[in-house]
């Protein structure tokens, strides 16, 4: 399929060059003769006017074509000639295209498509991602949004998926292109349109096939060797739509800075233990290759094939992306403590708490099996502050610590894990557990329970 699109692009560029030469020859002839005309001059004028772009190269309209609107178009000679050697389609996802009439809204798509699919299978017609399927009774149009592989033949073994909202035409689409520092490509955004976007979409619309280009917000498309990400689209939702002759296209370079260095480490408990592996080549490199446009910052996490990774440090701080000049480190592993599993926003809130309280909140290891509940508990304590008022906290008994041994043998504040020293001010909760005043006061502002025995301090003080 990619080779076919590249061949279309080469033909399109050749046609543009021939049209330009034809236009020049006609212009020269018109200067020397009053008689000007003929079908060639008209075609050249149409071609030269169809490609419209702003002077910055960031806004463009794909040239109109009648091919996308045709109701029935045979497969191209190249594809038809080799259809017998095409693979069998394993899975295919088909969605309605355009507005579904209210009276047909409850009709299952497979019921409507059954006859058309049987005919395509019997005729061994090639099926592709982006292909329109048109049904005459009732009059409906569908589009293939995903075909695995992207070009193949239907069979009795093909799995059909028809769930999802109807696909609409995007009125506007914003692309950004990942800058390849070693390609030597022009930095002028207008070249992205003239050399990549326009030929790519026009090659499809002028191919003579009943096809359309479906795109999804966030997806990356390889266009003639360059990576373009769909940054935004209108209308939104839906997230998936068609780029056609009516779509306004905006394109620019991705100006996100590049990391100099980044250290990404896997979590130990997510690594496989049944076979040998290479963390970088088997997991990290494939993920980064598929997500070239992703932006990262310190403490970000992501998962690839069941292995969870975390960005432990990076230069600059970010957000930035990983490029050709980025040095990537992946040595070491992370033990799944609460601190390592917390999202960046929770870690930021946690950093403003006293060190003793931080230690208390993070003293549950994920290996104990209840880290998910602990994460929820910590999040509630940090965000909701369901604790006691200052007046109520002041009702807790306050005393000075002495060196005399206690009946329960307690000698350590279980919030900060530091030993008590003679003369320190402490609070004794109704359950008789003792803590440093500054430690337990901050705790009680966020939680009403004793950190050790979980007895409700507020209830004991106010007797309810």
- Condensed to tens digits (0 to 9), the pLDDT of residues 422-437 reads 889 999 999 989 998 9
Angle, vertex CA 77, rays to CA 46 and CA 145, nearest 5: 80
Which one has a higher pLDDT value, 3 or 195? 195
- What pLDDT score was predicted for residue 108? 79
- What pLDDT score was predicted for residue 12? 61
Residues 6+ apart with CB under 8 A from 193: 53, 57, 60, 249, 251
Range with the largest mean pLDDT of 81-90, 185-194, 402-411: 402-411
- What pLDDT score was predicted for residue 264? 94
- What pLDDT score was predicted for residue 279? 93
| pLDDT at 151 exceeding the cut of 70 | yes
Cα 432 from Cα 439, distance rounded (Å): 16
What is the average pLDDT value for the chain, to the nearest integer? Answer: 76
Residue 19's pLDDT band (boundaries 50, 70, 90)? low
- What pLDDT score was predicted for residue 429? 92
Contact 261, 326 (CB under 8 A): yes
Q: Which CATH number fits domain 390-462: 1.20.1340.10, 3.30.56.10, 3.30.40.10, 3.40.50.2300?
A: 3.30.40.10
Give the three-state DSSP class for 250: strand
**How many CB atoms neighbour CB 463 within 10 A?**
5
Residue 284's pLDDT band (boundaries 50, 70, 90)? very high
Range with the largest mean pLDDT of 14-28, 326-340, 423-437: 423-437
Fold held by 1-17+51-254: Vcp-like ATPase; Chain A, domain 2 (3.10.330)
- What pLDDT score was predicted for residue 356? 60
- What pLDDT score was predicted for residue 367? 38
Instruction: Please determine whether the domains at 261-334 and 390-462 fall in the same fold group of CATH.
Output: no
Angle, vertex CA 11, rays to CA 97 and CA 181, nearest 5: 85
Enter the tokens of residue 339: 């601190």
Give the three-state DSSP class for 302: strand
Contact 228, 221 (CB under 8 A): yes
Which one has a higher pLDDT value, 24 or 36? 24
Residues 165-171, mean pLDDT to the nearest whole number: 89
Residues 1-8, mean pLDDT to the nearest whole number: 55
Residues 270-289, mean pLDDT to the nearest whole number: 91
> Would you kindly state where each structural domain of the chain is located, as residue ranges?
1-17+51-254, 261-334, 344-384, 390-462
Fold held by 261-334: Vcp-like ATPase; Chain A, domain 2 (3.10.330)
- What pLDDT score was predicted for residue 9? 60
- What pLDDT score was predicted for residue 280? 94
| pLDDT at 362 exceeding the cut of 80 | no
Residues 153-175, mean pLDDT to the nearest whole number: 90
| pLDDT at 33 exceeding the cut of 70 | no
Predicted TM-score (pTM) of this structure: 0.51
Q: Looking at 114-118, 148-152, 206-210, which range is the least confident one? A: 206-210
pLDDT tens digit sequence for 64-112: 333 333 334 444 444 444 556 889 999 999 999 887 776 666 567 888 8
Instruction: For residue 123, give Cα distances in angstroms to 127, 190, 209.
Output: 11, 44, 17
Residue 196's pLDDT band (boundaries 50, 70, 90)? confident
Contact 326, 259 (CB under 8 A): yes
Residues 195-222, mean pLDDT to the nearest whole number: 81
Which one has a higher pLDDT value, 145 or 244? 145
pLDDT tens digit sequence for 256-277: 888 999 999 998 888 998 889 9
Residues 411-423, mean pLDDT to the nearest whole number: 83
């Amino acid at each position: 399929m990619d080779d076919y699109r590249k061949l279309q692009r080469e033909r399109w560029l050749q046609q543009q060059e021939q049209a330009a030469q034809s236009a020049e020859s006609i212009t020269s002839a018109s200067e020397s003769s009053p008689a000007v005309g003929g079908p060639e001059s008209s075609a050249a004028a149409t071609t030269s006017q169809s490609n419209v772009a702003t002077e910055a190269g960031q806004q463009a309209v794909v040239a109109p074509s009648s091919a996308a609107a045709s109701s029935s178009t045979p497969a191209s000679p190249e594809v038809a000639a080799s259809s017998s050697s095409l693979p069998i389609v394993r899975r295919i996802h088909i969605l309605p295209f355009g507005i579904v009439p209210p009276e047909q809204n409850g009709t299952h798509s497979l019921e409507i498509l059954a006859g058309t699919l049987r005919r395509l299978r019997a005729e061994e017609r090639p099926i592709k991602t982006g292909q329109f399927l048109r049904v005459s009774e009732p009059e409906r149009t569908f589009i293939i949004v995903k075909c695995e592989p992207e070009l193949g033949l239907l069979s009795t073994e093909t799995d059909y998926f028809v769930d999802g909202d109807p696909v609409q035409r995007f009125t506007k689409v914003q692309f950004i292109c990942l800058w390849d520092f070693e390609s030597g490509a022009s930095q002028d955004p207008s070249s992205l349109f003239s050399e990549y976007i326009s030929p790519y979409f026009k090659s499809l619309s002028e191919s003579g096939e009943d096809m359309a280009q479906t795109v999804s917000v966030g997806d990356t498309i390889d266009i003639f060797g360059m990576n373009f990400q769909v940054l935004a689209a209108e209308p939104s939702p839906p997230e998936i739509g068609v780029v056609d002759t009516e779509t306004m296209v905006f394109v620019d370079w991705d100006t996100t800075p590049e990391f100099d260095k980044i250290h990404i480490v896997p979590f130990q408990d997510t690594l496989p233990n049944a076979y040998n592996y290479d963390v970088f080549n088997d997991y990290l490199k494939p993920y980064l290759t598929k997500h070239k446009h992703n932006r990262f910052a310190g403490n970000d996490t992501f998962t690839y094939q069941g292995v969870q990774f975390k960005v432990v440090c990076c230069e600059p701080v970010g957000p930035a992306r990983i490029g050709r000049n980025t040095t990537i480190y992946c040595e070491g592993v992370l033990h799944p403590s609460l601190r390592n599993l917390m999202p960046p926003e929770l870690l930021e809130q946690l950093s403003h708490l006293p060190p003793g309280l931080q230690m208390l909140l993070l003293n549950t290891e994920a290996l104990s099996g209840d880290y998910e509940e602990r994460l929820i508990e910590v999040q509630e304590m940090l965000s909701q502050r369901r604790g006691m008022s200052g007046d109520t906290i002041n009702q807790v008994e306050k005393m000075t610590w002495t060196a005399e041994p206690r009946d329960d043998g307690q000698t350590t504040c279980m919030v900060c894990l530091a030993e008590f020293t003679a003369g320190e001010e402490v609070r004794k909760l109704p359950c008789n557990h003792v803590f440093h005043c500054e430690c337990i006061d901050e705790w009680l502002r966020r939680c009403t329970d004793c950190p050790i025995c979980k007895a409700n301090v507020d209830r004991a003080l106010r007797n309810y």
